[in-house]
Amino acid sequence: MEVTAVTQTLLHANQLKRTARTGWVQRGVPDAESVAAHSFGVVFTVLTLAQLVDEPIDLGKLLALAALHDLPEALTTDIPTPAWRYLPPGIKTDVERGAMAEMLADTPFAADWMALWEELHANKTAVARLVYDADKLEMYLQAWVYEQQFGNRFLAEFWAAPPNFHFPQTQAIYREIVALRG
């Protein structure tokens, strides 16, 4: 085992604890959550959703995809969605793929983790789609929490366009969060 490469991968992942979610920072959220905090939220959300959906789900693969979903941001940082529209189509995936390859280089699990990450980004399997749903749902849950904490609606733009979830269970929870907003 290449201990140095594995240690470097762990250090890259650790960087996510110090990488703020830029979308919240841009909107004036004080002490905005880190990418690592968001990733934990996605892992917990997907674990919960897996108990609700009707399709058979490989829980191990599901949790692995959720844990890896934002790992490239250890190198790319959290570039907010509005910024990507000014860049060429597909560049986000290409950039993140390169970051993943760099972080995993020389590890004994590089091929396996890259395959998981590629499955996630292809978004064609039930597992990948459930992680997609969890990622979006967790963002809406966090927006609601921030609105409650700060007593205002400075995050209203997040709610302007309803999301397209893959699973009706996710949609039902989203509707409940919207109802909580009043």
Give the chain's mean pLDDT: 94
Which band of pLDDT confidence, cut at 50, 70 and 90, is reported for residue 1?
low
Question: Are 130 and 49 contacting, i.e. CB atoms less than 8 angstroms apart?
Answer: yes
Average pLDDT (123-136) is 98
Average pLDDT (30-34) is 93
Spell out the domain ranges in the chain: 3-181
Q: What pLDDT does residue 157 have?
A: 84
Question: Are 70 and 38 contacting, i.e. CB atoms less than 8 angstroms apart?
Answer: yes
Which band of pLDDT confidence, cut at 50, 70 and 90, is reported for residue 10?
very high
Task: Express as a percent the part of the chain with pLDDT over 90.
Answer: 79
Question: CA 166, CA 164: separation in Å to the nearest integer?
Answer: 7
Token look-up 């290409």 returns 94
pTM: 0.94
Name residues whose C-beta falls within 8 Å of residue 16's C-beta, 6 or more positions apart in sequence: 34, 35, 36, 39, 70, 71, 73, 74
Question: Are 136 and 163 contacting, i.e. CB atoms less than 8 angstroms apart?
Answer: yes
Q: What pLDDT does residue 152 have?
A: 66
- The CATH superfamily label for domain 3-181 reads Hypothetical protein af1432 (1.10.3210.10)
Q: What pLDDT does residue 59 have?
A: 98
Question: CA 166, CA 129: separation in Å to the nearest integer?
Answer: 6
pLDDT digits (tens, 9 = 90+) for 47-95: 999 999 999 999 999 999 999 999 999 999 998 888 888 999 989 999 9
- Which structure tokens are listed for 39? 């990733």
pLDDT digits (tens, 9 = 90+) for 138-154: 999 999 999 999 876 67
Name residues whose C-beta falls within 8 Å of residue 63's C-beta, 6 or more positions apart in sequence: 43, 46, 47
Q: What pLDDT does residue 99 have?
A: 97
Q: Residue 165 above 90 pLDDT? A: yes
Task: Express as a percent the part of the chain with pLDDT over 70.
Answer: 98
